[in-house]
Structure 1
Amino acid sequence: MLKFSIIIPCYHDEEKLRSLLEQLCNIPDKAWEIIVVDGADSELCRRICSLFKVRWLAAGQACRGQQLLAGASIAQGDVLWFLHADVRLSSTSFVAMRQAIHNNAIGGFFRFRFDTPRHWPAFVLEPAIMLRCFFGVPYGDQGLFILRASYHEVGGHAPWSLFEEVPLVQGARQIGKFIGLRESIFVNPRRWLQDGWWRRTWHNRILALQFACGVTPKVLAARYQAMKASPKHSHIKHL
């Protein structure tokens, strides 16, 4: 039986983390271990992890790529599953991943779905995200999973704050089957609601285009922070 290590980067996401850990406790299949990598060194985050009996790891800094690398470096499961704190899971998530590995995939990602409240732009954006995943790279909010041996073979995540999963996915596709599941993962739409569906999507695409054109993650992270500070844009997350 495959053992799963779940790795969750966290930065002042305590309430979302609590909800995710509750979900994981209620899924019939269980993870072998859960590792929360805290970029804020929060006492509340530590207490929540203690309550749910999961491992808490202080990251030292809020850099998602480095947080994921730190969690993966101590994980002992056969499969690494990387989750953002604000997602909602299907009850058959483990079943879908086990089936993919059984069918000789080395890893993959879940179908992106907006959680409730669902507005009409969600029905336009979700198929567009599917196309992006087919021709490009799925991002970290889609529940990336991969065999631990394959993760380390390709070098894992990049130590960046943005687009840290791109080298991982590209490397995984070079050495094996990295597939999209039919199973959905549900992403909270609150940031799209706050910023405006099209404005947020536009700025996300601009960041992705700049990255593809060679702008460094460090420069993009500075622009990302500037967007967050803008009164018109709360937390911009790449789409």
Structure 2
Amino acid sequence: MQNSASVSIIVPCWNDEASLEKLLNHLNLIAKNERESLQLIVVDAAQSESCLEICQRHGSLWIPASPCRGEQLRLGASHAVHSILWFLHADAHLTFDCLPAIRSAIDSGASGGYFAFRFSNANCWQSRLLEKLINMRTRFGIPYGDQGLFFQHDIYLSSGQHDASPLFEEVELVRRVRDQGRFVELAKGLGVDARRWQRDGWWHRSFRNRLLAIAYWMGVPASRLAAIYSSRK
């Protein structure tokens, strides 16, 4: 039975223990601040003992899984008990007003939504320009999982859930949810870790991501694109 008073948070994990521990600790602080009990669900594709121990320390349900992000998200959602589902990456950076913003959006009738793209740990001209460009794109296109997608539980299920694929698993889901009602952008509350852009190069990574998206629209299988996405070359 769904509990309408709170949020189930699903975090896919694959060798992200350091980031995960920080996230779970922060979520518990947010829950304490909001005086509510969140349901924390970690779906671990590495099936590691260290991830299990972190989840036990922070009161999170630990679910072992195969390394496919779409399957991880679907599996996590199948264990959710609350009326709002929030899907987070393990390296997400949150502020204390994130949960009130989500609840306000759902209470106003939104089917779901996402957070505006902001880097949490970079403030250079490249990062600021990329934030503007990505936010322009997502208002007309698809926001991806690093922007903290959230949904009404019932609408998530009726819309077919995430695709069981390792990349672009949210694309068709977001399209279907938008067809069912308002899918809103929240201005603040979540930051994206900049380390991958800093590692690969701001424009190199962004250009490669756009090429992968174009290839996906042209029908290249997500499993093939996922191997390219995971490569640093």
- Aligned-CA RMSD value: 1.2
Tell me which moved more, 135-144 or 216-225: 216-225
User: Is the 1:112–1:184 contact (alpha carbons within 8 Å) kept by the matching residues of 2?
Assistant: no
Q: Does 1:7 align with 2:13?
A: no
**What does residue range 1-239 of structure 1 map to in structure 2 within 5 Å?**
2-27=5-30, 28-29=33-34, 30-59=36-65, 61-225=66-230, 227-228=231-232, 230=233
- How many Å apart are 1:25 and its aligned residue? 1.5
In structure 1, stretches of 5+ residues that fail to align are 231-239
Separation of aligned partners in 1, 2:16 and 2:85: 21
Instruction: Give the ranges of 4+ consecutive aligned residues of structure 1 lying more than 2 Å apart after TM superposition.
Output: 29-32, 222-225
* Paired letter, 1:38: D
In structure 2, stretches of 5+ residues that fail to align are none
Aligned length: 227
User: Is the 2:8–2:84 contact (alpha carbons within 8 Å) kept by the matching residues of 1?
Assistant: yes
1:120-161 CA-to-partner distances (Å, cap 9, x unmatched) read 201101111111111100000000000110000011000111
User: Is the 1:5–1:31 contact (alpha carbons within 8 Å) kept by the matching residues of 2?
Assistant: no
Separation of aligned partners in 2, 1:155 and 1:116: 34
User: Is the 2:97–2:189 contact (alpha carbons within 8 Å) kept by the matching residues of 1?
Assistant: no
Separation of aligned partners in 1, 2:166 and 2:150: 19
Partner of 1:237: none
* Paired letter, 1:103: S
- Are residues 31 and 123 of structure 1, via their aligned partners in 2, closer, same or farther at CA, if it must alter by over 3 Å? farther
* Paired letter, 2:67: A
TM-score normalised over the length of structure 1:
0.92
- How many Å apart are 1:218 and its aligned residue? 1.8
User: Is the 2:86–2:151 contact (alpha carbons within 8 Å) kept by the matching residues of 1?
Assistant: yes
2:188 aligns to what SS in structure 1? strand
- How many Å apart are 1:211 and its aligned residue? 0.7
User: Is the 1:113–1:184 contact (alpha carbons within 8 Å) kept by the matching residues of 2?
Assistant: no
Tell me which moved more, 204-213 or 9-18: 204-213
* Paired letter, 2:58: F
Separation of aligned partners in 2, 1:202 and 1:179: 26
Separation of aligned partners in 2, 1:202 and 1:182: 25
Separation of aligned partners in 2, 1:222 and 1:25: 34
Separation of aligned partners in 1, 2:146 and 2:171: 13
TM-score normalised over the length of structure 2:
0.94
Quick one: percent identity of the two aligned structures?
A: 44
2:118 aligns to what SS in structure 1? strand
